[in-house]
A = this chain, B = another copy of it.
Amino acid sequence: MDKPFLDKLRKIDPYVPGEQPQAADIIKLNANENPYPPAPGVQEVLRTFDASSLALYPDANGKRLKAALAERFDVRPPQVFLGNGSDDVLALAFQSFFCSDKPILYPDITYSFYPVWCDLFSIPYETVPLDENFCVNIRGYDKPNGGVVLPNPNAPTGCGLSLDALEDLLQHNADCVVIIDEAYVDFGAQSAVPLLDKYENLLVVQTMSKSRSLAGMRIGYALGSETLIATLEAVKNSYNSYTMDALALAAGEASVRDEDYFQQTCRRVIATRERSADALRALGFTVLPSLTNFLFVTHPRKQAADIFAFLRQEKIFIRYFKLPRIDNYLRITVGTDEQMDRLIAALKKFL
Contacts and interface: CB of A to CB of B under 8 A. Distances in A.
Interface of A: 3-17, 20, 22, 28, 31, 33-38, 42-43, 46-47, 49-60, 84-85, 87-88, 91, 95-100, 116-117, 119-120, 146-147, 174-177, 200-201, 209, 213-218, 227-228, 230-231, 233-235, 237-248, 251
Q: Which of A31, A120, A230 has the most chain B CB within a 10 Å cutoff?
A: A120
Contact of A16 (B56, B87, B237): B237
A20 B49 CA distance: 20
B230 A246 contact: no
Given A53-B216, A100-B8, A214-B54, A241 B176 contact: no
A234 B12 contact: yes
A216 B7 contact: no
A244 B215 CA distance: 11
A5 B175 contact: yes
A238 B120 CA distance: 7
Contacts of A42: 51, 54
A251 B54 contact: yes
Contacts of A84: 84, 240, 243, 245
Given A9-B99, A174-B4, A241-B17, A215 B87 contact: no
A54 to B, nearest CB: 4
Nearest to A228: B9
Contacts of A31: 56-57
A177 to B, nearest CB: 5
Nearest to A214: B54
Contact of A43 (B51, B119, B231, B246): B51
B87 A242 contact: yes
Contacts of A51: 37-38, 42-43, 46, 251
Contacts of A237: 14-17
